[in-house]
Structure 1
Amino acid sequence: MTDTIRPGEIMYDAEGQQIHIHGGSILAVDGEYYWYGEDKGQSTPATGRWHSGVRAYRSPDLVNWTDLGSILPAESSDPDSPLHPQTMMDRPHIVRHPASGKFVCWMKVMHADGRQRSWVYQADRFEGPYSLVRPGFEPLGMSAGDFDLVIDSETGRGYYYFERVHSELICADLTDDFTDVTGTYSTHFPHPNPPFVREAPAYFRHDGRHYLITSGTSWYFPNRSEIAVADDYHGPWTVLGDPHRNDPSGTSFHSQISSVFTLEDGRHIALADRWLPDMADDMIYRAWRATEAQFTGGRPDPDIDAIVQAGAPDTSRARHVWLEIRFDNGRPFIDWQDAWRP
C-alpha cells in the first residue's frame, strides 16, 4: 500500500506489477476511480506492437490500483480492426451517458493512407464488453488527431475537442447519444505547421470557467505546454501560456499531458506521459527545430531524423507524470512535486 504519487517514477499495481497504460484518463464511477489507456506493456521495437488493447485499473484512493485487465482486448486475428496490435490506435476516452448509463469509448487511429479516423464503441458496464457502434470515420470530414471528450454535468450535452491534423483545434458538439458529432463546431488556435500546431487537448473546468491544456506537435519529443481559458466551450479562448512555471527545461517536465481529472473537492490532476524518459535536453531542443525545418524547408537534423525514421520508440519504458493543477491569483499552474497526496 502507498499513499503518495511520485511523478516520473514507475507505478505498480496492487500485485506489484508495473503499470504500462498510457495516453490515459480517469473516470469516477459509483465511488470508485477507473484509470484506463493504451496498454504499452509489450510495445517494444522488437515486438512491433503499437498497443495491447485498452487496459484498466480500479482504485478507492487514486494511488493503489487493482488491475482489471483489458476492457477492449487486442484483436490479433483481424488486421482491419483498430484493436489489432500493429494498428496505430491512440488515446481512448470513455464517458458515461447521464441518461442511459451507457459507457461510450472513442479512440483515434492513424491509418495507412495517412488519414486519422475516429472509432466509437459502447458498453453497459465500464469493464465491458464493448461493441463497435461507429467504425472508422472522419468527424466533420476532417482528419481527427488527439482529442478529449467533455460532458457538461448540468446540461448533459457533450463536446469533442480534437486536433484537425497539422492545422488547428476543433470543438464539435456531440449527438445526444455521444456516438457522433452534430455538425455544429468552432475552430481555434490555427497554426501553419508543426511544431506550433496544438495537439493533446486536455479540458477541465474551474470556478465556472473552461480551461484547455495543449502541447506542441513534435512526435514523441516533449515540448512546452500551453493553457488557455474561455467562458464557453466554443471560446473564444485566451492563451495564458506555459503553466509549468518552475520547469527550467521548458518541456512540461519532459512529458505530455493526456487528460485532466477533477476530484470531488474541485482539485485537478494533470495526467501526463514521459514517453522518452532517458532523452537528454539538448536532443529535445534539437527535435523542436528539426520538426519546424521539416515543414518549412529548413536544414534537417540527421540525428533526429534517424530517431523518427526508426519508428515508435520503446513505449513500454514510458513513465507517468501526475501533478496537481493549482491556482495562484486565479491563474492555473503545474509545479513539480517529488511526492504528493491526492
Structure 2
Amino acid sequence: MKNNLTFGLIICCCFIFIKCKTTTEKQTDNSSFKSGKKWLDTNSEHINAHGGGIMFHEGVYYWFGEHKTEGRGGNTTLFGVRCYSSTDLYHWKNEGIALQVVENLDSEITKGAVIERPKVVFNKKTGKYVMWFHLELKGQGYNAARTGVAISDSPTGPFKYIKSFRPNAGTWPMNFKEAWKIEPDNSPLKWWTPEWYTYIKEGGFVRRDFESGQMSRDMTVFVDDDEKAYHIHSSEDNLTLHISELTDDYLDFTDKWITLAPAGHNEAPAIFKDEDTYYMITSGCTGWDPNEARSFKAKSIWGPWESLGNPSIGKDAELTFNSQSTYILPVEGKEHAFIFMADRWTPTNPIDGTYVWLPIEINQGKPVIKWYEKWDLNFFNK
C-alpha cells in the first residue's frame, strides 16, 4: 500500500511539473516576433487587440485594440476597447477593457455598435489620456462614418466617452481651390468614369458633406515633435484621406485640415516621422481581403505628399503579406527604428485574427517592408 501511495505521489508530482513547465513555456516563449502566429499574453491567452495602436508612456508600452468575439457577428463591439501593457514589446499583460460599451440603447456606444481602430495619446498639457476611434452606430451598418473620443486619468482606463461626430463641418480644406467651392452645373453621377474621378478630385464629395461634416472611417492619431496632434482618416466614401489638426487638449478639431490623394481609394492609414520627413503607409479598399499597400512622404504634415508606391517587397508583397496596416510604432530608445503593425483579419471568426509586425527600413528615401518569419529588436542594432 505504501509503495503504491509513493508511486502515485511521484506520478502526481511529475504531472504537476510538466503542466507548470508547459504553462511557463507558453508564457515566456515570446523572445521574438513571429508574424501571423497566435500571440499569447502573460495569461497564455491570444492577444485580443485588433486594429490597434500603441502608446509609450513612462517606460511602458500600452497596446489598445478592438476586442473581437467569435462568429460572424464578432466584428460588432460587444465588450469595448481592450488594453495590454508591456515593457519589452514581447510580453503583454492584459489590463482589461479600457473603454466599455454600455447596455443603454440611447448611448452612441451601446453594445452592438462598431468601434474600430482605437488610438490613445497622452496630452502633456492636461495630463489626460485621449482615445480616438472610428464609430459606427448600432444598426446602421457603415453609414454613420463618425469619429469618437474618450478621456481618462489613467493609461489603462476606464475611459469616459465624450462624443462622436463627423469632423470639419462648414470648413474648407486648406489645399482646396476657390473654384472647387462651387458645384458645377453638370455633376457626373456614374461612378468610376474618368469624369467622375475628376469630379472627386475637384472636391465633389467635400462639397456634398460640407454642411453635415466629412465622413471619418479608418483612422489614426499622430503627435508631432512640438506636441501638436493630428487626426488622419479615410473619408469621402473611403476615396480620399483627410489630415486634421486637433485642438491643444486633443479633444476636438481645429479648422485646419487638408485632403490627401483624392479619389485614390485609401484606408488603414499609419504614419511616422523619421528625422525631418513624414511617411505614411495605407491600404487599398477591398473589405476584409488583403491588398497591395501604398506609401507616401512629405516634408510637412500639410504636404505636398508624394506617392511612393508599394513599400512591401518579396513574396506576397502584392497582398502586404496577407495583412492590412493599422499603426507604425517607433521603438523607444532606438534611432530610425519603426515597426509596421498590421492585422490578418478572419471575418468568419474575428477573434482568431492574428498580427503581422515587421521592421521598416528607409531605402533611398522610401519605406521598405520585407517579410521575416522570425525577428527581434536586435534588427535595429545594425
TM-score range, shorter chain: 0.7 to 0.9
Q: Greater shift after overlay, 124-133 or 31-40? A: 124-133
- Of 17, 35, 48 in structure 2, the residue corresponding to residue 20 of structure 1 is 48
Which residue of the partner structure matches residue 65 of structure 2? 37
The structure with the largest strand share of the pair is: 1
Displacement after TM superposition at 1:269 (Å): 0.6
Alpha-carbon separation, structure 2, partners of 1:270 and 1:139: 27
User: May I ask how many residue pairs the two structures share in their alignment?
Assistant: 299
Which residue of the partner structure matches residue 356 of structure 2? 321
1:179 matched to 2:206: no
Alpha-carbon separation, structure 1, partners of 2:308 and 2:149: 33
The amino acid that maps onto 1:61 is D
The structure with the largest helix share of the pair is: 2
Change beyond 3 A, Cα 1:143–1:127: same
Alpha-carbon separation, structure 1, partners of 2:73 and 2:260: 39
Do the aligned partners of 1:13 and 1:64 also contact (CA within 8 Å) in 2? yes
TM-score by length of structure 1 reads: 0.83
Which residue of the partner structure matches residue 85 of structure 1? 111
Displacement after TM superposition at 1:48 (Å): 7.5
Do the aligned partners of 1:25 and 1:93 also contact (CA within 8 Å) in 2? yes
Which residue of the partner structure matches residue 127 of structure 1? 156
- Of 288, 293, 306 in structure 2, the residue corresponding to residue 220 of structure 1 is 288
The amino acid that maps onto 2:152 is A
Return 5+ residue gaps in structure 2 as ranges. Answer: 1-27, 169-212, 378-382
The amino acid that maps onto 1:64 is H
Displacement after TM superposition at 1:227 (Å): 0.6
Which residue of the partner structure matches residue 162 of structure 1? 233
Q: Identical aligned pairs, as a percentage? A: 30
Do the aligned partners of 2:76 and 2:114 also contact (CA within 8 Å) in 1? no
Displacement after TM superposition at 1:45 (Å): 2.2
Alpha-carbon separation, structure 1, partners of 2:56 and 2:74: 34
Q: Deviations over 1:114-172 (max 9, x none)?
A: 12111111111111222223x1211011111111111112x221111111133311111
- Of 268, 289, 301 in structure 1, the residue corresponding to residue 338 of structure 2 is 268
Which residue of the partner structure matches residue 38 of structure 2? 10
Do the aligned partners of 1:97 and 1:103 also contact (CA within 8 Å) in 2? yes
Which secondary structure state, in structure 1, belongs to the residue aligned with residue 71 of structure 2? coil
Change beyond 3 A, Cα 1:189–1:51: farther
Displacement after TM superposition at 1:22 (Å): 0.2
Change beyond 3 A, Cα 1:248–1:54: closer
Displacement after TM superposition at 1:270 (Å): 0.9
Return 5+ residue gaps in structure 1 as ranges. Answer: 277-311
The amino acid that maps onto 1:240 is L
User: Within 5 A, what are the aligned runs for 1:1-342?
Assistant: 1=28, 2-40=30-68, 42-45=69-72, 49-75=76-102, 77-111=103-137, 112=140, 114-133=143-162, 135-140=163-168, 141-153=213-225, 155-164=226-235, 165-191=237-263, 196-248=264-316, 250-264=318-332, 265-266=334-335, 267-276=337-346, 313-342=348-377
Q: Deviations over 1:231-250 (max 9, x none)?
A: 00011111111111113351
Q: Greater shift after overlay, 163-172 or 81-90? A: 81-90
Displacement after TM superposition at 1:201 (Å): 0.7
Alpha-carbon separation, structure 2, partners of 1:85 and 1:175: 29
Q: Deviations over 1:301-326 (max 9, x none)?
A: xxxxxxxxxxx532111110011111
Do the aligned partners of 1:222 and 1:255 also contact (CA within 8 Å) in 2? yes
The amino acid that maps onto 1:106 is W
Do the aligned partners of 2:77 and 2:101 also contact (CA within 8 Å) in 1? no
Question: Which of these two proteins has the greater Rg computed from alpha carbons?
Answer: 2
Displacement after TM superposition at 1:335 (Å): 0.3
Alpha-carbon separation, structure 2, partners of 1:132 and 1:329: 43
Alpha-carbon separation, structure 1, partners of 2:316 and 2:161: 44
Which secondary structure state, in structure 1, belongs to the residue aligned with residue 36 of structure 2? coil
Displacement after TM superposition at 1:223 (Å): 0.6
Which secondary structure state, in structure 2, belongs to the residue aligned with residue 273 of structure 1? strand
Do the aligned partners of 1:275 and 1:319 also contact (CA within 8 Å) in 2? yes
Do the aligned partners of 1:38 and 1:51 also contact (CA within 8 Å) in 2? no
Give me the CA root mean square deviation: 1.6
Q: Greater shift after overlay, 52-61 or 79-88? A: 79-88
Which secondary structure state, in structure 1, belongs to the residue aligned with residue 37 of structure 2? coil
Change beyond 3 A, Cα 1:340–1:204: same
Change beyond 3 A, Cα 1:249–1:29: closer
Change beyond 3 A, Cα 1:255–1:87: same
Do the aligned partners of 1:104 and 1:120 also contact (CA within 8 Å) in 2? yes
Change beyond 3 A, Cα 1:46–1:226: closer
Alpha-carbon separation, structure 1, partners of 2:363 and 2:161: 44
